Chain A
């Protein structure tokens, strides 16, 4: 037996055309239909092989998610293969997903026969030969780049679960990420995969499943936080021959990459969640709407669906239960608004991705006019754990209104960038400082941006806010899909507001006036704030600027109240939260014409420090507007009237002789 689909002996007969209802259980505890010690040993040894418990040669895992690949995992893998060949060592090389510690990629794990699985970080192609010699040849610890052990660890090797980054986390959704082989269904089954599906087919009616999800208190992880059970209940009650499930993997939110990582590292879990939801509402067709910018996620999903079909876990008469389900992948075409459910449906139908007014809600009339449920990737990834361990267990985690855990994508000015999963109710402080490791280069924390373009920037004063749907809303942000961008003193809040408005304005679908026109006007107002009109002597422009500011708040309220979909309704949030918490920074830009973060270029002046300038002339060559003059060997000078404030001279200067203020 090399995979679970292989029969243990002639007694076993599971196949796609003639499915066995006990297939999943049999993979773990089998054989169930007959007693044969030899078959039992075969299944047991396959399980222990897939769980990497017994093996004769060392196993090397390489983190090959997008973050790993971008950090050079491919080159590291090639180098390791070459090195092993050179030394004539037999070893098993496994490509795995992302364990979440993206800041430390490329992460390579090594497990010697009868040893523990040890993780190492920042392995570069240059380090490989040293690394292999130490860990595999000498069978020692490569202590320079030691991260920790997946097992219990010892005095020398800390257990991974005890190091700060992982200690405060609680992994329900991400538990397989970076551990299992994302392209092997056997690996997933051996880790307890499809047990939830097996449980519902044998023990639960669709109504029971809906009730279980309802009791668990699970809420949509896509942003709005609508109770998942409620959605399923509505869809379940609809009488229709055809129903659909859709997995929303159109993670357009800039600064968020949870869905990508889950799909790349553990695609089967999402598919299992979709199968369960389809069973619960009585759907027989499903779509996964995934961003085209995630080629690796699409490839892994494609492979996962193919394997599920091969194993008889998707298709007709699944495991002999009479339940049918087919899944298809739809590639997005790059429109942020398609994350909105009605826009997403329009996009699958081949139309422009524009939202439509609700009601009717998609659970009543969705894809092709049929009842449809749409859930986020992370929501689906929660389902199997709830079914296996029960709703009581799940609802015991988190706060009163927000149950379970939430995955955040830490990025920006933070030490430990990566993917973290925390129980609801943890404070922002804990996420930023205890897990994230604080701000690099001893800079001061300024704000954390949660919820992407629909969320807000939260300052230090509210950093003790617990992470849950209601608390975040109360302080002017929102859960969103889980982007968590940390900003330090070098980040300008006005610039961030401008950035989000530019994004929203270009992504507005153009259907409703408040969003299409309103965000454009709002962007114009915010763009004027850092503009310098000094040289143009344009008084009218300056007056316009003040007039815009006066109306900014009112305009924001109108957009919030009158837009058609969530994109428009939440579009002013970055500006409003900025005005609420960073008013003095806006005022500094307006009245003092100064940007203390040094970001808003029109407000900056560039001068050369005569004592540091060596007159090398590199800045003169870099300057595209010929604003720097000076003789070779003598200190240069910046002509302010000509300077377009691009900052290229600062980047180019090797002596830090150009001052910005």
Chain B
């Protein structure tokens, strides 16, 4: 099922493991069990090893994402500017904890170590769109903005969205 992705890599090339997992995650938003099995066979490693690598890195997820992903930056600069309060407000209004997805699958709340936009701290991103220099008061309006958005289905759409942000 992931033939197109595999075409770009050599079979049994162990160094291709992380890029492969990244591409699989780009398609599904997480790493489904079937995909991990296929990747394991392709790179010629045990499933346990793949699982070991996937759980080591923060980027990989084993559960599906919500339609909108909110990332709260927890870098030093954001911390000094009270990003903990933003996180608390988000957790409070979405009724989930960081790392979880809401029941209606609309929002996933994640923490990120540093987005690298420290100059406009505190920062949160929603689906790759940046919101800088915000306070707790801005949270409800940001959430409201994404409440009605339909789920992003295919990779193409996600890619389009990304490009929009870039230019």
Contact present for A74 and B165 (CB under 8 Å): yes
- A409 with B57: CB separation less than 8 A: no
Within A104-126, the residues touching B (CB, 8 Å) are: 105
Contacts of A624 in B (CB 8 A): 92
Hey, which chain B residues are within 8 Å of A507, CB to CB? 113
Stretch among A184-192, A345-353, A370-378, A544-552 lining the B interface: A345-353
A260 at the interface (CB under 8 A from B): yes
Which chain B residues border A182 with CB–CB below 8 Å? none
Residue ID in chain B nearest A601 by CB atoms: B84
For the complex formed, measure the closest distance between the CB of A70 and the CB atoms of chain B, giving whole angstroms: 3
Interface status of B1 (Cβ within 8 A of chain A): no
Chain A residue numbers with a CB within 8 Å of B135 are: 651
A70: chain B residues at CB < 8 Å are 117, 120, 123, 130-132
**Interface SS of chain A:** mixed
A266 within 8 A of B: no
A254 to chain B, nearest CB (A): 4
- Give the chain A neighbours of B81 by CB distance below 8 A: 412-413
Cα distance, A646 to B93, chains bound together (Å) = 13
Bitwise, A60-91 to B at CB < 8 A (1) or not (0) is: 00001011011100100100000000000000
Choice from B85, B117, B165 contacting A647 with Cβ under 8 Å: B85
Decide yes or no: A491 and B80 within 8 Å by CB, A412-B121, A647-B85, A648-B92 being known contacts. Answer: yes
Please, which residues of chain A bring their CB within 8 A of the CB of B19?
330-331
Q: Are B15 and A67 neighbours in the complex by a CB distance under 8 Å? A: no
Q: How far is the CA of A479 from the CA of B52 in the complex (A)?
A: 33
A67 in contact with B136 (CB, 8 Å): no
B162 — which chain A residues lie within 8 A by C-beta? 295
Which of B14, B57, B117, B167 is close to A66, meaning CB atoms less than 8 Å apart?
B117
Q: A66-B130, A294-B116, A330-B19 are in contact. Are A499 and B137 (CB under 8 A)?
A: no
Q: Does B128 contact A (CB under 8 A)?
A: yes
List CB contacts (< 8 Å) of A235-263 with chain B.
251-257, 260
A449 in contact with B166 (CB, 8 Å): no
Q: Does A132 contact B (CB under 8 A)?
A: no
Q: Given known contacts A336-B113, A412-B76, is B118 in contact with A256 (CB within 8 Å)?
A: yes
Q: Which one of B21, B75, B120, B165 contacts A71 once the chains associate, using CB atoms below 8 Å?
A: B120
**When the two chains form their complex, are residues B118 and A255 in contact, meaning their CB atoms are under 8 A apart?**
yes
Interface size on B, residues (CB 8 A): 50
Shortest distance in angstroms between B159's beta carbon and chain A's nearest beta carbon? Answer: 11
A452 within 8 A of B: yes
Partner of A487, one of B80, B88, B118, B166: B80
Q: How far is the CA of A386 from the CA of B79 in the complex (A)?
A: 38
Whether B17 sits at the interface, judged by CB under 8 Å, is yes
Q: Is the CB of A333 within 8 A of B120?
A: no
User: If A335-B56, A351-B53, A483-B76 touch, does A255 touch B120 (CB 8 Å cutoff)?
Assistant: no
Closest residue on chain B to residue A297 by CB atoms: B116
CB distance from A576 to the nearest CB of B (A): 17
A interface list, Cβ under 8 A from B:
64, 66-67, 69-71, 74, 77, 95, 102-103, 105, 251-257, 260, 291-296, 299, 330-336, 347-353, 368, 409-413, 417-419, 449, 452, 483, 485, 487, 491, 496, 499-500, 503, 507, 509, 624, 646-648, 651
Residues on B lying within 8 angstroms of A by beta carbon are 14-19, 21-22, 43, 52-53, 56-60, 74-77, 79-81, 85, 88-89, 92, 112-121, 123, 128, 130-132, 135-137, 162, 164-167
Can you list 20 A-B contacts (CB < 8 A)? A102-B119, A105-B119, A252-B113, A254-B74, A257-B119, A291-B116, A299-B166, A331-B18, A332-B59, A333-B22, A333-B57, A333-B60, A334-B113, A349-B14, A350-B18, A412-B80, A485-B77, A499-B79, A647-B88, A651-B135
* 8 closest cross-chain pairs (CB), A and B: A102-B119, A255-B76, A70-B130, A254-B75, A334-B58, A333-B57, A411-B77, A350-B17
- Excluding A254-B76, A293-B116, A296-B166, 7 further A-B contacts by CB distance (< 8 Å) are A70-B117, A105-B119, A255-B118, A334-B59, A350-B17, A411-B76, A648-B136
